[in-house]
């Protein structure tokens, strides 16, 4: 049998925002979106790191408003489909209507891995507005495979035309991905997607495991640009898929050039797996906690490693950044050099 086609969903201009505190401007967005379109990237996701409507003091004020980001990308993408993300509680139906009016083709509605019910209304609105509706389960390592499958079934019942699980903490090993994607693909009859983070250096391997288990959509970012240790590295993923014979429709040389552009113009430096990113993955804590944990731990004179371990024990979620200080208040100040 011929290897199946894999659709690569590029979230450089959305997930990458976490790495720069949501400070990408219109010129940066325009240049990368044009390069990704030229390379044949089929889907480009754009927006605040936490999705449309999320710009706030709690999770970060965006330098560029949602409408400007979306229209800027849309203008230079004659071939690629434009996607965005929304989280119920941040975004509203008004935000959805505005995004679709500004050219969005695909909207992903994201919820915690056990809370698919909150996506029902928004998935219906997206379908009614004529865009493609996709459902996303965040922090998916906190649910068992059969529970994820049941949650995905609910989202499909609400109108999701594809479902995706995020390894939000970068904690999976390939066998973890295999069991979850297998359960989901057995339970639903829509495309299944996988979104990897690289805290344990496994993002590309985990993405390949997802394809072998039946996923047909993979998320990635140029140079891995994303929170913490970053995401699945786009140009590496395309190269690996090509080696295995999976068609993507992406020109490898041109997407590598787009990644070079991203490194020069979007990020202070490519993501690396430092000790903080490593413990984030081991503890199962969302990668976006890295910068606020480092800042708060330094002010308090405590080890960020200890903070992450305790946050993991408490099974914290994105949006619960206020718990960082609660954890720090339970720790004894220590030399920052004593532990990673």
> Which residue in the list 18, 22, 102, 195 is annotated as catalytic?
18
The angle at the Cα of 297, spanning 17 to 327, to the nearest 5 degrees, equals 100
Cα dihedral 295, 300, 304, 306 sign:
negative
Report whether 202 contacts 173 (CB < 8 A).
Answer: yes
CA-to-CA dists, residue 232 to 78, 184, 293, angstroms: 25, 21, 23
Q: Which is nearest to 28 in space by CA: 14, 42, 9, 10?
A: 14
Cα distance between residue 108 and residue 106, in whole Å: 7
Cα dihedral 156, 158, 159, 164 sign:
negative
> Which string of b and e fits 33-68 if b means at least 16 CB within 10 Å?
bbbbbbbbbbbbbbbbbbbbbbbeeebbebbbebee
Alpha helices by DSSP H, listed for 193-289, are 203-212, 234-243, 252-265, 275-283
Does residue 18 have an active-site annotation?
Answer: yes
Cα distance between residue 80 and residue 105, in whole Å: 10
Q: Which is nearest to 270 in space by CA: 233, 238, 220?
A: 233
Report whether 194 contacts 207 (CB < 8 A).
Answer: yes
43-46 and 217-220: which strand pairing?
A: unpaired
The beta strand positions in 67-113, using DSSP E, are 81-86, 106-112
Tokens encoding 318: 């994105």
- Residues marked active site are found at 18
């Amino acid at each position: 049998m011929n290897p199946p086609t894999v659709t690569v969903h590029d979230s450089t201009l959305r997930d990458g925002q976490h790495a720069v505190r949501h400070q990408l401007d219109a010129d940066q967005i325009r240049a990368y979106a044009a390069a990704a379109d030229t390379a044949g990237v089929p889907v480009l996701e754009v927006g605040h790191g936490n999705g449309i409507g999320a710009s706030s003091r709690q999770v970060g004020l965006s330098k560029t408003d949602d409408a400007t980001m979306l229209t800027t990308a849309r203008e230079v993408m004659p071939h690629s489909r434009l996607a965005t993300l929304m989280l119920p509680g941040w975004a509203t139906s008004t935000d959805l209507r505005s995004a679709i009016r500004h050219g969005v083709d695909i909207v992903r509605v994201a919820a915690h891995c056990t809370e698919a019910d909150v996506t029902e209304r928004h998935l219906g609105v997206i379908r009614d507005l004529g865009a493609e509706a996709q459902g996303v389960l965040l922090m998916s390592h906190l649910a068992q495979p059969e529970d994820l499958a049941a949650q995905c079934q609910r989202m499909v019942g609400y109108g999701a035309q594809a479902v995706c699980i995020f390894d939000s903490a970068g904690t999976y090993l390939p066998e973890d991905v295999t069991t979850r994607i297998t359960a989901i693909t057995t339970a639903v009859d829509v495309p299944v997607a996988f979104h990897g983070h690289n805290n344990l250096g496994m993002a590309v391997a985990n993405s390949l495991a997802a394809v072998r288990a039946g996923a047909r959509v993979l998320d990635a970012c140029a140079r891995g640009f994303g929170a913490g240790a970053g995401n699945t590295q786009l140009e590496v993923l395309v190269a690996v898929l090509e080696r295995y014979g999976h068609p993507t429709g992406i020109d490898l040389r041109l997407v590598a050039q787009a990644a070079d552009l991203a490194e020069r113009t979007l990020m202070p430096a490519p993501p690396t797996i430092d000790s903080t990113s490593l413990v984030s993955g081991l503890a199962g804590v969302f990668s976006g906690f890295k910068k606020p944990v480092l800042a708060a731990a330094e002010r308090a004179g405590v080890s960020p490693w200890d903070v992450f371990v305790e946050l993991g024990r408490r099974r914290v979620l994105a949006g619960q950044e206020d718990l960082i200080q609660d954890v720090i208040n339970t720790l004894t100040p220590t030399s920052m050099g004593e532990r990673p």
